[in-house]
């Protein structure tokens, strides 16, 4: 039996490349109303948020909330928990941080 796990690494790389290509395909369209992107490089987190403007003042806030809700559902699915659990944890964390962490070293301990 071999301890070689390079096959696992190749599968992870292939999965990452597939997801990256899917994200690029999603961004390649004119029908996008808003986007929130987070990129992690060497433990550093860069995020950006952009949205199309409209005449409806409530539209911008609703799009931002819709993006947040989609992200909460995604994190919940990945963690195998209910979205309400993730939302509650995120709300608790948001109340405890004074600024958004720019890298993983700035995330507070529990």
For 23-79, write each residue's pLDDT tens digit.
888 888 788 877 777 777 787 767 776 777 665 666 667 777 777 888 888 889 888
Take residue 40 and report the two structure tokens written for it. 């992690």
How many C-alpha atoms does 47 have within 13 Å on its Cβ side?
Answer: 9
Rounded to two decimals, the pTM is 0.49
């Amino acid at each position: 039996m071999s301890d070689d796990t390079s096959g696992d690494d190749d599968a992870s790389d292939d999965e990452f490349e597939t997801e990256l290509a899917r994200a690029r395909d999603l961004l390649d369209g004119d029908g996008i109303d808003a986007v929130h992107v987070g990129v992690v490089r060497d433990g550093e987190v860069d995020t950006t948020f952009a949205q199309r403007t409209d005449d409806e003042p409530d539209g911008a806030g609703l799009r931002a909330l819709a993006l947040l809700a989609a992200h909460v559902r995604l994190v919940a699915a990945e963690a195998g928990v209910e979205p309400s659990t993730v939302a509650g944890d995120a709300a608790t964390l948001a109340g405890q941080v004074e600024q958004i962490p720019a890298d993983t070293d700035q995330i507070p301990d529990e």
